Structure 1
């Protein structure tokens, strides 16, 4: 008795829609242009969100300049044989995105052309976002690894490293305010220096 064929996996999104995504440079430019008008990405605008976005620009600038890939991650990237499109769902006001997106971009840039990055704003793509909820929430950033030729999913990751996610859940359960949580979380990121992110991306890249 033969087994029925496994149904073909559908593309996560169309080629046309993927083509509308921002490059990293375009994403950064968008955030800078909005900040010049005291705005950030998304329909919701407030002084608080603008303040977060301003801090996030500084965080991304620092990581763009100073973050360095772990040697073992660089080695794993050199062993990647297929080509992939990394679809990254993000927003300029998101603190986690500011800490993570520059690292994702550095990984892709070190892949010798095997990985391309494509940035979409969460609130403009809720149908995609809702395929990748975290505990029922639209947590970002979210990385969806696509096979470049078929745009089918190979893996997904996010919204933050497991240790940071645990810190988030613990702090939330303790009833902390957003400001208290943000202070703890960004303190963790500063102390970790992207090591946890890179270790988890190392596991992901080795599975590709």
Structure 2
């Protein structure tokens, strides 16, 4: 972690961050007012947010954590905070966060919290992806010192590679590549995500 990141991720940031339940409730309350997170409350952004609530609700019910990953989580020695940078309108966040939450819930050694990107650009700008503010971004922190242990995001590596290929293909519209990406998520059923986290958790504990 850079010195700047060490200064911006404080105990106060963690204490004020949302739990998953608080994050979901906040989104529901905003939608009741025809709003979403951030400053853009256009019909399109509201539509994306409503779709994402459906995605998260579906994954909340359907995600099954693999036995090998459960075993790894249940036998952790380290204690971590997983700080996730996100926004309600982000499709990738909706596809990945429920599974990440279920992983964290398999152990009492991980406290998972959520902050909004556009309200925390000083933190976001320490964790850019190819120069962009891509989300979700998970920062694994030592629970006692808040020292950075590792990061993940914004997508499983396989999905990220495919998304970049589709994005650069001029014959595929933005709408088309987004559709292809969400189709990949549905078919993969969080397996690549779990595979990555099994490897990362093992590495982060060393």
Query: 1:39 offset after TM fit, Å?
Result: 1.4
Considering only CA atoms, is the larger Rg found in Structure 1 or Structure 2?
1
Mapping for residues 161-200 of structure 1, pairs under 5 Å: 161-175=156-170, 176-200=172-196
Structure-2 separation of matches of 1:117 and 1:182: 27
Residue pair 1:80, 1:114 contacting (<8 A) in 2 also:
yes
Q: In the TM superposition, what whole-angstrom CA distance separates every residue of 1:155-202 from its partner, at most 9, and x where no partner exists?
A: 000000011101111111102322111100000000000000110011
Residue pair 1:11, 1:152 contacting (<8 A) in 2 also:
no
Residue segments in structure 2 that go unaligned for 5+ positions in a row: none
Match of 1:131, SS state, is: coil
TM-score by length of 1: 0.93
Runs of 4+ in 1 over 2 A off after TM superposition: 9-12, 175-178
- Higher fraction of helix: 2
Which residue pairs with 1:30 in the alignment?
Answer: 26
Matched pairs, number: 200
Residue pair 1:145, 1:156 contacting (<8 A) in 2 also:
yes
Residue segments in structure 1 that go unaligned for 5+ positions in a row: 1-6
Structure-2 separation of matches of 1:56 and 1:10: 31
Match of 2:18, SS state, is: coil
Which residue pairs with 1:4 in the alignment?
Answer: none
Q: CA RMSD, aligned part only?
A: 1.4
TM-score by length of 2: 0.94
Q: In the TM superposition, what whole-angstrom CA distance separates every residue of 1:21-57 from its partner, at most 9, and x where no partner exists?
A: 0000000001111111221111112111111110000
Residue pair 2:34, 2:41 contacting (<8 A) in 1 also:
no
Which residue pairs with 1:63 in the alignment?
Answer: 59
72 and 11 in structure 1: CA distance in 2 versus 1, 3 angstrom threshold: farther
